[in-house]
Amino acid sequence: MHFASPRVAFVALLVTLATPFTPALAADPAPTPVISREILFGNPERVSPKLSPDGKKFAWVAPDEKNVLQVWVKTVGQEDGKKVTADKKRGIRQYTWAEDDRTLLYMQDSDGDENYHVYGVDLVSGNVRDLTPFQGVRAGIANLSQKVRDRFLVTMNLRDRRLMDVHEVNLATGAVTLVAENPGDVVGWDSNDDLVVRVAQSMKPDGSTEIRVRDGAGAPWKTFVTAPFGEDVNAVDISGDGRALILSSSLNANTSRVIQKDIASGTETVIAENPSVDVGGIVIHPTKHIVQAVDFPAGRQAWTVIDHTIAADFQGIAKLRDGDFNVVNRDRDDKTWLVAFNEDRGPIRYYAWDREARKGTFLFVHQPKLEGLPLAQMRAVSFPARDGLTLNGYLTVPVGVKTSNLPLVLFVHGGPWARDSWGYNPYAQWLANRGYAVLQVNFRGSTGYGKKFLNAGNKQWGKAMHTDLLDAVNWAVKQGWVDPKKVAIMGGSYGGYSALAGVTFTPDVFKCSVDIVGPSNLFTLLESIPPYWAPMISQFHQRMGDPKTDEALLRAASPLFSADKIKVPLLIGQGANDPRVKQAESEQIVAAIEKNGGGVTYVLYPDEGHGFARPENRIDFNARTEAFLGACLGGRVEPLPAGDKVPGSTAVVKVVEPKKKGK
């Protein structure tokens, strides 16, 4: 189990200096076919394969006859696949196998409210049960154990909506038992293979991190690691003998390293480190609890193999495809691994890896209709910010056209304590296919570049974090690739905030803007965060600003208070049930724009949360975005279907026309 990261994203590692990128020029290009939005943003045909622990069953997610994502199961070696869930509308995206080999666990919320419940499907009887049947409560799977197969652990804010406690769930009876109570500051837990909770990670009021340990159930908690605000420290696992913790830690280094720290003596052993790159993925053996491999992604993935017993496996898997791979599942005997390959110009590819035969068998791709399409290359780029800080990102340009004086969409990631990475990105492919250069920037405050780069973004919302984006645009213009008069800014969550900041703080830079679930008022944002984020509020105050002491800073960084400066077209998309960025964040700036005589198009989806999960709504908003960008920047537009919205979408649209001067 991995702890919840203290870098909570509103929405989910260093890119090294890239060699200068000079896009190829195509003389007299032939028109590139328009790729359908249905292919790019519709449901995958098949995704997320998982073997049962005994290796006898194979599960995956695929749409049913009503295009709702369900979990399907078959017997390995047979063609007896069948649907085992019956979600009515939203679709299932998170599931796993219980260790009893007969129960499949999945998570679902209600219309995007993120109050997830954990459901169990008994594959013998066919019964489906809500294992956390408590209204208004958020649950999550905390730990499963191959040693204790009839029970598992969940986190729930049942006792107090602000605090996640640990409960044990009995698979046979459904009984729920509290096993670890949150004292008020714990943001993550871990247990041993006996499902005894032994580790708690807390966040203190000053923003510091504290990791506590105990010898067993009922034993007193002891402080084990303390780290001041600004350090990136997370408990990852308990060692196999129970005597040490495996941590990712930036203490005594700029980048996070994988270390093992003895509980009794405090002695530390560095398992893996890279002075330029933060830890990315970590592969840990599920029963031996030893670190087997660590990813230090420098632009692309880069595995460092620690456990020599899997070296041949990683070497063999790497030869299957030219892409970045992850081990996504393994059976109890550790004989078969399921591996996912991600690449920039094709669908996700899944393979089964036979460890004894050292042989990979292709399973399927997540979206076969992407095969053979004219997808664009995503290239790592780097450039300096105005203060000399090196910024890294990714540039995707249209296929078959001269890379000169192109319209640009600056596509800003969410978080902001997250990052953009290399690989297949449907938004980058969609926009490039429509004729736009797409620039994704890991601005200061992004993760993966070491703690100095992360902390350079502290209290820089609307300031240096924003000027990093402007510097990225200026860099692309100076290369001759981008027309400075045809630049749009677009993003979701923090990226949506940036889209609002772009047209309020720097209204002359962008010709139009697309905001998806972006906050407009940092005061109301901080006041309305989900109750279970309460232990982490100190991190928000340290990184964004504390309303009690930084009122002027937060006001200056809130686009709402500069809404009168908006003078270019703006499109806003919002989910009505968003628990992170509430509906009011969009509606208050729409009201302010209308009051100031400006123009905006506001699209509300009553059955969505923080982003658009239902494909009908996702495709609907992207169709509106495509038409919006086409009118603004002149890119290609796939015609809308008949009617004013995509069939099945719940879009509610408000168009505020700008008032003419003197009216």
Active-site residue set = 493, 578, 610
> Whole-angstrom Cα distance, residue 498 to residue 139?
31
Diameter of the chain measured on Cα atoms: 79
**H-helix or E-strand containing 595?**
helix 583-595
Which 3 state secondary structure label does DSSP give 617? helix
> Where is 259: in which H helix or E strand?
strand 257-262
Numbers of helices and strands, H then E, in the chain: 11, 36
The answer to whether residues 31 and 297 touch, using CB atoms and an 8 Å cutoff, is no
Cβ contacts of 19 within 8 Å, gap of 6 or more = none
- Which strands sit side by side in the sheet containing 69-75, from one edge to the other? 47-51, 57-63, 69-75, 82-83
Task: List, in sequence order, the alpha helices (H) in 395-536.
Answer: 426-433, 451-455, 464-478, 494-505, 522-527
Q: Tell how strand 151-160 and strand 482-492 pair up.
A: unpaired
What six digits make up the tokens of 495? 């990226």
Q: Which amino acid is at 174?
A: G
Q: Which is nearest to 211 in space by CA: 181, 190, 196, 193? A: 190
Q: How far apart are CA 259 and CA 272, in angstroms?
A: 7
Tokens (6 digits) for 386:
């105005």
Q: Which of 194, 155, 171 is closest to 97 using CA atoms?
A: 171
Euclidean distance between CA atoms 330 and 146, whole angstroms: 12
CA-CA distance, 469 to 490, in Å (whole number)? 11
In the chain, the amino acid numbered 30 is A
**Rounded CA gap, 349 and 434, in Å?**
25
Return the sign of the alpha-carbon dihedral for residues 187, 193, 195, 199.
Answer: negative
Token couple for 15? 């890119």
